[in-house]
Amino acid sequence: MPVISKKKLIFASVKVKKLHIIAPYPKGEAPSQRFRFEQYIHFLEKHHFEIRYHSFHTPKSWNRLYQKGRFIQKFVDLNYNFLRRWILLFQLIGAKHIFMHREMTHLGPPVFEWILVKIMRKKYVYDFDDAIWIPNYSSANARFQKLKCYWKVPYLIKWASKVSAGNDFLAAYAQQFNSRVEVIPTTIDTKNQHTKRVDHKKIPMVIGWTGTHSTMHYLDFVIPILRKLENEFDFIFKVISNKKPNYQLKSLLYQDWKEETEMEDLAEIQIGIMPLVLDAWSEGKCGFKALQYMALGMAAIVSPVGVNTKIIQHTENGFIAETTQEWEDALRLLLENKQLRSELGNHALESIQQKWSVDVWKEKYLNLLQ
């Protein structure tokens, strides 16, 4: 009779749970997914979850979405992706663990979610990290904005068995429709991903910003300040994005965002900036830029909007600046003082490790999905 090891017996007795993750974008493509739940997938697998990932877009349709032209192909992609959602409903017939990020479809009313809850009687955990109930679109997409059906967000929250919100502002909104709301912030993996460190001795100094073209307009406020400082200091202003900015700065250096070199590119920045405008959309943001800067040991300057004032303790692990003069003073101080940049960066990294890391929040995530 064959001998069965104790390890195999224990493994055989553990029940594997299938976790269906429903998300808008393909895996690894969007920061809102990568730094909210995707970086926890390996941890969840260790705790006996078998992950089934269902994105609305396929990798090919996502790559084509923002290309110029190709309207017929994009129309075909959209219909194909809606068909995949209908097929997904059948795949979820036996599902017991469902995690939904933002929505099941980019466009249209919450038909699939209604069927899932009202007809199929399924429960899901709902996760969101922006004020997605507020219309937010570029002028180029204005004619399609009604198709987004922003009004559906309260229903998605109401129908959920639990809600994971990225900050207190989002949680307060969700609590109007659901009593089972938890705040789980966007977090940083300091062991496997954000492992690079800023070199504050490097010359010339680098001030930097990273983000998508849709949020680049926040930089308009600091451009005149940078233009003024260019006359006094030798520095590079590095913008990492998916579209080149049109700023008249002699210090400007643009770099395409690439996932494979993201950490190396960011680690070349010594002073990270995050200007924002005080409005409801910005209040809903989860401070991800600031967290990324700090995790690399960078000195950060942020606007006092939303969760930024929780992440940054002014003059201890970064700077909070609101007025033009405050931004200029903070930039000037950091450009002049290498030791201060280094000290703030070290304290910033400590803050991430103690309060905003994957290690700190992984058990909370596990409990949310049990």
Go through the domains of the chain in sequence order and give each one's CATH number: 13-184 (3.40.50.2000), 205-355 (3.40.50.2000)
Residues 214-254: tens digit of each pLDDT: 889 999 999 999 999 999 999 999 999 988 999 999 999 99
Q: What percent of the chain has pLDDT over 70?
A: 94
In whole angstroms, what is the distance from residue 229 CA to residue 206 CA? 13
| pLDDT for 11 | 46
Q: What is this structure's pTM?
A: 0.87
Residues 117-136: tens digit of each pLDDT: 999 999 999 999 999 998 86
Residues 241-288: tens digit of each pLDDT: 988 999 999 999 999 988 889 999 999 999 999 999 888 778 888 888
Burial label, 69 (beta-carbon count in 10 A; 0-12, 13-18, 19+): exposed
| pLDDT for 1 | 47
| pLDDT for 70 | 82
Angle value at C-alpha 42, between 41 and 44, nearest 5 degrees: 65
Closest CA to 281 of 125, 173, 145: 173
Average pLDDT in the chain = 91
In whole angstroms, what is the distance from residue 238 CA to residue 26 CA? 28
Residues 73-90: tens digit of each pLDDT: 989 999 999 999 999 999
HSE-up of residue 148 (Cα within 13 Å, Cβ side): 16
Q: What does the pLDDT average to over 139-146? A: 59
Residue 57 has pLDDT above 60, yes or no: yes
How sure is the predictor about 138, in pLDDT bands with cuts at 50, 70 and 90?
low
| pLDDT for 16 | 86
* H-only helix segments in 136-230: 153-159, 168-174, 223-229
| pLDDT for 9 | 46
How sure is the predictor about 147, in pLDDT bands with cuts at 50, 70 and 90?
confident
Residues 301-359: tens digit of each pLDDT: 999 998 999 999 999 999 999 999 999 999 999 999 999 999 999 999 999 999 999 99
Burial label, 74 (beta-carbon count in 10 A; 0-12, 13-18, 19+): middle
Burial label, 41 (beta-carbon count in 10 A; 0-12, 13-18, 19+): middle
| pLDDT for 10 | 46
- In this structure, which amino acid lies at residue 39? Q
Residues 3-49: tens digit of each pLDDT: 555 545 444 456 889 999 999 999 988 888 988 999 999 999 999 99
Phi, psi of 257 (to 5 degrees): -75, 130
Q: What percent of the chain has pLDDT over 90?
A: 74
